[in-house]
Amino acid sequence: MSVATLAEVLQPALRHGYAVAGLVTLGWEDMRAYVAAAEAEGAPVILQAGPSCRAHTPLPVLGQMFRYLAETASVPVVAHLDHGYTFEECKQALDSGFTSLMFDGSRKELSQNIDETAAIAEMAHAAGISCEGEIGFVGYSGGENSAGTDPDEAARFARETGVDAMAISVGNVHLQQDKQGGLDEPRIRAIEALTSVPLVIHGGSGVPVAQRTALAAGSSICKFNIGTELRMAFGAALRAAVDRDPERFDRVTILRETHDPVMAAARTVIRALGASHRKD
């Protein structure tokens, strides 16, 4: 049984200079491929159920899927709620077997974000699981603009919420399809100087791979969320499978052909973060 909490996989990453991949799931095919990739790399993995995933599949079902994969895996697997927006949603995830809750109060005024995140963290810790919060706002490609994380506010947020991990806004953007951007390293260093909480980068697909690798090894960033580039790999594999034989209609047969390409893409992500085959 390899069910793990977020703290259980991020604290070793913080101590030993690597990062764990938070892989955004949309269905059985990709989450299964992600766990297979983690096993092949001998690395922990964080399976993430975000809002679009939850709109498609109810939380109690996702909890069972995540737990099944974790309990049969040879590596630590975290069942993580990504961008929970209400206390009730986070409570439902906890009751559904999730081992980590990410509460997103980043659109709210600082004091309200702190108070609401602290309540989620208290609930999570009482149940023996982890909590991630967000300070600053990570925007969306083609949508809402980001608001960079203030280091002093980050220090206060970490201190007053008791979160196990803290998502920050340092030039990262959700849903970015290219890697032409880059993170604001001076801002990261300023945040690191004021808090020892493991840091999280949402929108990791837009971060150049070399920078991911360097920051995983040499900063307090212990978790990179990766979704878009893996969805692109899945989409390309699915399109190729459909085009290969337009007469096929059995979706199980078609979807089976996405497994190896998505697994390979996830292995590349995990390896770049320095998490493969760790002995520490």
For 211-227, give the DSSP string: HHHHHHHHSSEEEEEE-
> What domains sit in the chain, N to C, each tagged with a CATH number?
3-272 (3.20.20.70)
Bridge partners (DSSP) of residue 46 are: 22, 78
How confident is the model at residue 144, as a pLDDT? 57
DSSP classification of residue 149: P
Distance CA 157, CA 269 (A): 29
How confident is the model at residue 205, as a pLDDT? 83
How confident is the model at residue 176, as a pLDDT? 59
Distance CA 63, CA 59 (A): 6
3-4 and 77-84 beta bridge pairing:
parallel
Q: Is the pLDDT of residue 233 over 90?
A: yes
Backbone angles phi, psi at 45, to 5 degrees: -145, 150
* Residues 271/41, Cβ–Cβ less than 8 Å: yes
Distance CA 92, CA 71 (A): 20
Catalytic residues: 82
Q: What is the pTM of this model?
A: 0.94
Distance CA 32, CA 63 (A): 14
Distance CA 145, CA 159 (A): 27
Task: Tell me the average pLDDT across 18-39.
Answer: 97
Residues ≥6 apart with Cβ < 8 Å to 130: 5, 6, 7, 8, 78, 99, 100, 101, 124, 164, 165
| pLDDT tens digits for range 151-195 | 999 999 999 999 999 999 887 665 555 566 688 899 999 999 999
How confident is the model at residue 95, as a pLDDT? 98
* Residues 49/59, Cβ–Cβ less than 8 Å: yes
Task: Tell me the average pLDDT across 237-241.
Answer: 95
Distance CA 129, CA 198 (A): 16
How confident is the model at residue 215, as a pLDDT? 96
How confident is the model at residue 147, as a pLDDT? 65
Helix (H) or strand (E) holding 8: helix 6-16
